[in-house]
Amino acid sequence: MTKNIPSLEMKNVAFGYRNSGLTLAGMSLDVGEGERIAILGESGIGKSSLLRVIAGLERITSGQIFIHGRLVSAENVHCTAEERKVGMVFQDWAVFPHLSVFENIAFGLRSRGKQNEERERVKQLLEEFELEGLASRSPDTLSGGQLQRVACARALAPRPEILLLDEAFSSLDVGLRKRIREQVIKALKIERAASVLVTHDPAEALEFADRVFQMRDGILLDAKMHNEFRQ
């Protein structure tokens, strides 16, 4: 297997909110193409901050972040969120209430005006997430599970390098969680996107990811390799 460029490389990244000290203190992380990573940790420890920094929603203090080999964050470099090819699913899904399911999923596909391509892409995602038939529905008529899938489909539509999941499954009940998790994993494989899941649930982390890290004191610890378990 040829060595591919990692989807994400973080080298010694430091980041802190003003007056709060360092949330990330010299954090390093590599995520290969198509790899799935989970980050565990208590609430408030900064797991979301990690994702926000990768997404480009915050600027880092020092260190470097590369996405697919391209430098996007450094002390004096900041590629804005809209220019990075990063998708994110938030805990409360944030599905746009004024747009239909179709329009939500198509949201990130704007610009080139290739309508047919756009339609095909959305259809494909609707299938991947078992949302056929809901295309013209309005978000306020959907259940939690459906909204979650719409959010994921939407994030994956523009073919991001990385998909970030911030406690994305936490609001769903247990039975649903497993089903959706499997759908997401399947879709990720089809899309060949890397992903980082942040969660407080160890079981979920283990089920979802190839590697699991724990976040403490601003760095990551305890990489656990689980590939052998799967085989």
Partner 1 sequence: MKIFLQIFVFALVAIFLAPVFALLNEGVQSLVSEKATLSSDLLSRYGLTSLLLLAGSVSGAVLFGTSAAYLCARFDFRGRRLIQWLSILPLGVPSYLVAYTWVDFLVDQGVPGGSLRNLPNTCFVFAVCLSPYVFLPSFSAFSALSGSLLESAKLLGKSQFEIFRLIEFPLARASMFAGGILAGMEVLADFGTVDFMAIDTWSKGIYRSWFGYGDRGRASLLAVILFLISGTLLFWETNVRAKNSLARSGRSVSLHTRKKLPFIKSLPFLFFALIPALVSCVFPALILTQRVYSKSDPEQWASVVSPALTTLGMASVSSVIVVVLGLAMVLIWRSNPGKFVRSLARIGALGYALPGGVLGLGLLILLAPFSLTGSVFGLLLAYCIRFATIGTSTLEAAWLAIPRVYDEQARLLGCTSWGVFNRVTLPLLQNSIACAFILTCIDIVKELPATMLLRPFNFETLAIRTYNLASDERLSETAPSSLAMIALCMTGVFVAEKLGAFGVSERSRSGK
Q: What burial class does residue 103 get, using C-beta atoms within 10 Å of its C-beta: 0-12 exposed, 13-18 middle, 19+ buried?
A: middle
The residues facing 73 across adjacent strands are 65, 78
Query: What is the nearest approach in angstroms of partner 1 to the Cβ of residue 211?
Result: 24
Nearer to partner 1, 62 or 80 (CB): 80
Nearest C-alpha neighbor of 23 from the set 219, 176, 223: 219
Q: At what angle do helices 174-191 and 115-128 cross, to 10 degrees?
A: 140
Which of 4, 28, 80, 115 touches partner 1 by CB under 8 A? 80
Query: What is the nearest approach in angstroms of partner 1 to the Cβ of residue 93?
Result: 8
Using CB under 8 A, which residues numbered 136 to 175 contact partner 1?
140, 154-155, 158
Nearest C-alpha neighbor of 184 from the set 175, 194, 173: 194
Give me the torsion for CA of 97, 103, 109, 111, rounded to 10°. -90
Q: Does 59 bind partner 1 (CB under 8 A)?
A: no
Q: Does 17 bind partner 1 (CB under 8 A)?
A: no
Q: Does 107 bind partner 1 (CB under 8 A)?
A: yes
Nearer to partner 1, 98 or 230 (CB): 98
Q: Does 78 bind partner 1 (CB under 8 A)?
A: no
Token pair for residue 149? 């899938």
Q: Does 32 bind partner 1 (CB under 8 A)?
A: no
Nearer to partner 1, 85 or 226 (CB): 85
Nearer to partner 1, 54 or 212 (CB): 54
Q: Does 111 bind partner 1 (CB under 8 A)?
A: yes
User: Are 153 and 128 within 8 A, CB to CB?
Assistant: yes
Q: Using alpha carbons only, give the angle 125, 130, 132 rounded to the nearest 5 degrees.
A: 80
Three-state SS sequence of 119-182: HHHHHHHHHHCCCCCCCCCCHHHCCHHHHHHHHHHHHHCCCCCEEEEECCCCCCCHHHHHHHHH
Residue type, 27: M
Which of 29, 40, 67, 86 touches partner 1 by CB under 8 A? 86
Which of 55, 142, 180, 187 touches partner 1 by CB under 8 A? 55
Query: What is the nearest approach in angstroms of partner 1 to the Cβ of residue 99?
Result: 8
Q: Does 60 bind partner 1 (CB under 8 A)?
A: no
Q: Does 207 bind partner 1 (CB under 8 A)?
A: no
Interface positions with partner 1 (CB under 8 A)? 55, 57, 80-82, 84, 86-88, 90, 92, 94, 96-98, 107-108, 110-111, 140, 154-155, 158
